[in-house]
Amino acid sequence: MNNYKVDFSGSVTSPKGFKASGVTAGLKKSGNADMALVYSEEPCAFGAAFTSCTFAAAPVQVSRRHAAEGEVLRAMIINSGNANACTGAKGLANAEKMCELTAAELGIPSGEVVVASTGRIGVQMPMEIIGRGIKLAVSELSSDGGVAAAKSIMTTDTVEKHLSLEVELSGGRVTIGAMTKGVGMIDPYLKTVPHATMICVVTTDCGLTNGELSDMVCECTGESFNRITVDGDMSTNDTVIVLANGASGVKVANASDAEKFKSALKLAMQELARKMVMDGEGATKFVEIKVVNASSEAAARLCAEAVANSLLCKTAWFGCDPNWGRIVAALGYSGAEFDPGKVNVFYNEYPVVRDGGDAGTPESDLAKVLKNREFRVTVELNNGDSDYWVWTSDISYEYVKINAEYHT
C-alpha cells in the first residue's frame, strides 16, 4: 500500500472524465463558497456508505434510496451551511428537489444524482438560494474544479482536504481522486448500501462493477473513517460515495488488480481520515491508540475507543500531562474483559504502565513525548492475539470556543 505516491495537490477531477465546481450560493453568512458539484461525463458504477445514526439527515435518506434503487450515478451535489437534518417531510422533499434541479440542469435522470449536506441541524433549506446555486455550480463545472469543490464543502475545517494517486493495473494505469470535509462531530460509523458531518467523494477512471466497489467501500471505510474520532459524536449526515466511470479504458481484470486497486483506495481514504483528525476542531495533537494482544478484535476495539473518546485523556494530552491513570480507568470501564494485572501501556516506546502499575519511567520523559504533534499510545492486554487501532485528537480550549460559538 505504501508503494503508491499520493499527490495532495490532486483532486476529484484528476481522474479522466470528471468535472467539478465550487461556488458561493449564499448559504453562509461569511460569504464563503458553500456549494460543490461533482459530475462524470459517463455513467458511473458506484459504492456508498452512510451514517448509522437513527436521525439520518434528509440528504442521507434520499441518497441511500438512489444508491439502493439505481444502477449508475453521474453526479453529486453538496452544500455546506445547512445540514437539512431533522427537517421532516419538507426536508426530504427539498433533498429530492436538489437532485431534480441538478439533474435538470445536467440533462440526466434525477435518480443518477446523489446529495449531501453539512451545517446546522434543524433548519429548512432556502430553496430559492439552492436553486440559484445549482445553476451556478453547473455553469462553473470544469476539469480543473476539484480543489474549488473541496474548499466549498468546508464548515469549521481550516484547510481543504483533497488528493489523488495513480495505480498500475495489468491493463494500464488508473487514477483515484478524492476529497473530504469534517473536523468536528466526528466519530463515524458508516454502513454500506443497502443497510454527515464527514462527507467524502472518491472518483476513479478505473472500470469496476457496483458489486466490486460495494465490497471495497465496506472494507476500506472500516479501515479508515470508521477508525477516527475527534469528539465522540456521530453525525446525522456522514456520507461516502465512490464513483467509477471507466474513462481510462482500464478495468479490474483479475484478483491481483482488485487487490491493488483496493489497497490504493484504502490508502486514499486513510490519508483523508488522517487529515480530518489532524485538522480536528482546536486539535493540537494527533494520537494513535493501538490495543494489542486482546482476546478478540471486539475487545480491542472497546478499549481503543474508550481511551480515544475519554475527555479526561484528551484534555490531559492537550496539557502534555502523562496521567496514565485516566487511560487505565477508560480501559476499565470499556466493557472489555481482561486481567488488569497483565496490562502494559506505552507512550511511543516509553513504558508507562507495567503489569497494571506504574512502570517507573520519569514523568519528565513522558511529558516530552506528549509535547510532540503526534504520538502513539500502545496498550498490551496480554490475553490473546487480536488488535485494533483508532486515530484521535486532543481536546483544547479552542474546541470549546468553536462549539460554544458555532452558528452557520
Give Cβ neighbours of residue 195 (< 8 Å, ≥ 6 apart).
Answer: none
**Helix, strand, coil distribution of the chain in percent, nearest 5:** 35, 30, 35
Q: Is the pTM above the cut of 0.75?
A: yes
Q: What is the pLDDT of residue 232?
A: 62
- Residue whose C-alpha cell is 432556502: 126
Architecture of domain 6-278: 4-Layer Sandwich (3.60)
Query: Residue ranges of the domains in the chain?
Result: 6-278, 286-405
Q: 286-405 has which CATH code?
A: 3.10.20.340
Task: Please identify every residue annotated as catalytic.
Answer: 197
Output the pLDDT for position 407: 56
Strand, coil or helix: what is 243? strand
| Residue ranges with strand state E in 89-236 | 113-118, 161-169, 172-181, 190-192, 199-204, 228-229
Residues of the chain where predicted confidence (pLDDT) is lower than 50: 1-2, 186, 193-196, 408
Output the nine-digit C-alpha cell for 1: 500500500
Check whether the bond before 194 is cis (ω within 30° of 0): yes
Q: Report the SS3 class of residue 312.
A: helix
For residue 282, what pLDDT is reported? 80
Give CA–CA dist 232/238, Å, rounded.
14
How far is the C-alpha of 145 from the C-alpha of 238, rounded, in Å? 23
- The pLDDT value recorded for residue 156 is 80
pLDDT score at 51: 87
| pLDDT at residue 66, as a whole number | 97
